[in-house]
Amino acid sequence: QKTSFHRSQTLDFKNGYAFSRLPREGVGGDTLFANQLSQDELDDLCTKGATLTYGQVKRPAPSRFTPAFVAYDKKVLKFDAYFMEEVPISAEEHYRIRQVGLYYYLEDDSMCIIEPKVKNSGLLQGKLMRRHRVPKNEHGDYYHWKDLNLGIDLTIYGRTYRLVNCDSFTKVFLESQGIVVNPPEELVSDPYTEQRRTPVQKPIVPAGPDPFRQFLTYDTKVLRFYAIWDDTNCAFGDHHPCIIHYFLADDTVEVREVHKKNDGRDPFPVLMRRQRLPKIFVDKNKNFPSCVLEITDHEVQEWYSPKDFAIGKTVTLLGRTFLIYDCDKFTQDFYHEKYGITDFQPVDVNKKPLEKVPQVIPPYNGFGIPEDSLQNCLSLFPKPPRKDIIKMLENNLKVLRYQVALESPVPEDKNRRFILSYFLSDDTISIYEPPIKNSGIPGGKYLKKTKVTKPGSTPENPIYYEPSDFTIGSTIEVFGHRFIITDADEYVLNYLERNAECFPAATVQSIRDHFLPRKVVVETASSGIPRKDLDDLIVEVQKELKLQEPFNTRQFHETFYHFDKEGSGFLDKARFLNICDKFNVPTSTILLKKLIDYCSCDEDKVNYRDFLLAFPS
């Protein structure tokens, strides 16, 4: 009738430990009665047996061996210790106490020393000695836990540690091994660290009767005065606007300088830091150096107070004199309530504007152009006068050329001819003299490019020559020299006709009248033989002249140009023939007569320029 045949549970856990217990029920659930024998009788039964029946009883196997690193795993002896370190380079401390922890590991008899890290201590803290077996002496012995106890000095690598305390496990372990543990000692602290921890006693400065009541009453209440510091007596001195703050809470004064934009001063705001300012000093010993004397109530007879500040009053603060000219609304209310003052009219400290002295321009000295010389009077670092860029771009490379003759009483200057160039881009004039061989005058540049003023103009209002002033026969005065315009370039006539609305009609008509005879001559000359026939005729004339006696053709050219005073390119026929006879030119030949007839414009004029094409120089 049994239905359950399993064995009862004999293995169990209690408080995390496994243990075995005797079964209470047998197979099938039958109740097992408790053993009535005692524990000693049970032990005898286990060790003794029936020797007659079964022979000698077998002894149990010895217990298993447990190594030290298993038996003492994670078992550490911890001691609190300290050592003394000398400080030879400090005047405030001569030695230093450093507290450490000494750890002894039972599993391998190794030791390590660790110092707790203190923030901002400036010392290399942490593990002072790594974990290893520490040698005890020179004979090769090592420190053992039997050598450790409280109240002893332990020398490790030349440094002596004082063991003062240990934890409970260490104490129990040493006592279990038969070591008498010494009583613990007090851990010594560092004297310099304790001195730093003590609060610093602040000196108590007497500030008058009941300063705390004054502070509570007038805290955050400040009198503000607007003042002027007159520093004109010093070199580079000036009037400095300042603000004087008087703090009612502790009777201190502060002075701040008011800075303006681009005032040229350093932008530090505080001129005089907040402090109590002495007004009257007590008579001091003259032999005592007062510059190092700390100012206290014993040296000062009277301090500055609110009654010493008022609008229109001058106060001297640390050697600087300030004129108070105004104050704010709170300051006015304070003085009205406490002192009964009602007149707060501000003092006018604004500087009177200086009278502007008219600038006198000195007379023109003749060097350079007046505009350039004027810049030296307007600024310390003169700048070149501004140019009309639009005009320069529009008239770039546009030059009007005129032939001028020098008006001079010297006979040698009567035959001199010059080229006057007028530059339209900047209204400047240059004069060039073409060199003539064997004339005795080198020629070349006569006047560099510059502006020329008209006679009678002043340096303050200079009037320069313009293209409208250049007419045929007009006189141009250039720095004391007078020139007469005798001829002009064809570009001058074309430019004046294209821009006739910008120039006087008399100027345009003068140039037209000058070029009119030349146009008539050209038209008359071009109406005869074609140009190709003229070139062929010149070639035949040159072949014929090769058979004649050679002569100086360059001098022949210069003679024609010399007698052409106006430079028109035409000479009288009689003078033309006289020059040819002078150089023995055979004008009676058929070819030369034909060439002269071609170059003749009318009965009186001959175009010697076309004629000279047959005589290359």
Res. 285 pLDDT band, cuts 50 70 90? low
Q: Is the pLDDT of residue 587 over 80?
A: no
For residue 1, give Cα distances in angstroms to 5, 30, 31, 32, 520. 11, 12, 16, 19, 167
Paired with 321 in beta bridges are 316
Res. 525 pLDDT band, cuts 50 70 90? very low
What CATH architecture does domain 392-524 belong to? Answer: Roll (2.30)
The pLDDT, as a whole number, for residue 293 is 57
What CATH architecture does domain 68-194 belong to? Answer: Roll (2.30)
The CATH number corresponding to 531-613 among 2.40.50, 1.10.3470, 1.10.238, 2.60.40 equals 1.10.238
Number of other CB atoms surrounding residue 338 within 10 Å: 10
How far the first Cα of the chain sits from its last, in Å, is 165
User: For 577, how many CA atoms within 13 A lie in the half-sphere containing its CB?
Assistant: 11
User: For 323, how many CA atoms within 13 A lie in the half-sphere containing its CB?
Assistant: 14
Unique residue bearing structure tokens 């503000």: 224
Check: CB of residue 97 under 8 Å from CB of residue 188. yes
Q: Is the pLDDT of residue 530 over 60?
A: no
Of 612, 550, 549, which Cα lies nearest the Cα of 579? 612
Of 346, 324, 330, which Cα lies nearest the Cα of 226? 324
Cα angle: 575, vertex 580, 583; to 5 degrees? 130
Q: Are the folds of 211-339 and 392-524 the same?
A: yes
Domain range list for the chain: 1-52, 68-194, 211-339, 392-524, 531-613
The pLDDT, as a whole number, for residue 15 is 86
Rounded to whole angstroms, the Cα distance separating 473 from 464 reads 19
Strand positions, DSSP E, 87-178? 95-105, 110-115, 126-132, 153-156, 159-166
The pLDDT, as a whole number, for residue 527 is 47
Whole-number mean pLDDT of the chain? Answer: 84
Q: Give buried/exposed letters for 153-174 (b at 16+ CB in 10 A, else e).
A: ebebeeeebbbbbbeeebbebb
Rounded to whole angstroms, the Cα distance separating 420 from 308 reads 84
Check: CB of residue 79 under 8 Å from CB of residue 102. yes
The pLDDT, as a whole number, for residue 524 is 46
The CATH number corresponding to 211-339 among 3.30.465.10, 2.30.29.170, 2.60.40.10, 3.40.50.2300 equals 2.30.29.170
What are residue 194's phi and psi, to 5 degrees?
-65, -35
What is the pLDDT averaged over residues 561-570?
Answer: 77
